[in-house]
Structures are given as C-alpha cells and as structure tokens.
Structure 1
Amino acid sequence: MPTYGKNAGVKLIGTLDYVTGKVYCEEHEKYDAKVFLGFLKGILSRYPEGKIIMILDNARIHHAKLVQPFLINYL
C-alpha cells in the first residue's frame, strides 16, 4: 500500500576502515544524540588503540550536551 507523502526511512551511521576496507554500519529508526553516543562507544570498542579519524558535519547531535563529556574524555 503506497504511503503518499510519507516515505518510510532508515537512518544509517557507519565507518570505513581505510586499512582493511571493512565497513561497519548501524541502522536505526531515528538518529539522535543518544544513538550517536552509543555509536561512538561502539567504535572505541572496535578500535581500542584509538587511532580513529572521523569526519562529521555540524549537526546538533554531534556536539549535543549528552555527547560533550564523552568528547572531552577522548579528544
């Protein structure tokens, strides 16, 4: 059944390991600071040596109050 004007969507967030070529991707119904923080924690567990480069836009969730303490500890 068509959903005119209401396209079902999915939110994807992921990384590319440029050394191995492996892609890690998460799918979510919504994308907010809580999801982003969980993603960051997951990335740190995948790369415990901490050699990570991330390119982010200036979306509010990328510098939300919820995320700030985490960023301060790992920058």
Structure 2
Amino acid sequence: MNTNQIEALVGMLVVAGLFAIMVLPSLVGAVRERRIDRQLREAQDRDRRAEDQKSSSRSTVPSTATRYAEGRRSKKLVSS
C-alpha cells in the first residue's frame, strides 16, 4: 500500500466512525421506543383482560342507586 491508499483508508475509517457516532444515538432511541411501546401494549392487554374478567363476574341486576336515579329522571321528564 502506498501513502495515498493509506490516507484514503484512514479518511474512510474516520468518516465511517463519525457516521456511527451520529447514527448510534438515534438507533438506541428507536430501540428504546419500541420496547416502551411493547410494554405499554402488554399493560393495556393485561388491563383489558382483567376488566373483561371483572365485567363477566358482575351481576346484571342494577344497583339500588341506579334504580333510584332512573326513577328521579323519569319524574323530572313527566313534571316538565
């Protein structure tokens, strides 16, 4: 290898190193964002499954408060 080839090789390595230094933070950030998105999706799925289990175990009979509120609403509609 002559001097010109060595200088070209060193120049290419410097450019490749600078490119890696500039691109690496964005790649790390993208990987981190994907991991956070996955964790959020998993948490939403767990919450949804837990909510489905709660709602399926609840009785379908309305509570006293619901019946009272419905009665109050119907009286307001009749009197106005």
TM above 0.5, one fold? no
Greater helix fraction, Structure 1 or Structure 2 = 2
Q: From the CA coordinates, give the structure whose radius of gyration is larger.
A: 2
TM-score bin, normalised by smaller chain: under 0.3
Greater strand fraction, Structure 1 or Structure 2 = 1
RCO comparison, higher one (Cα < 8 Å, 6+): 1
The normalised TM-score by structure 1 is: 0.23
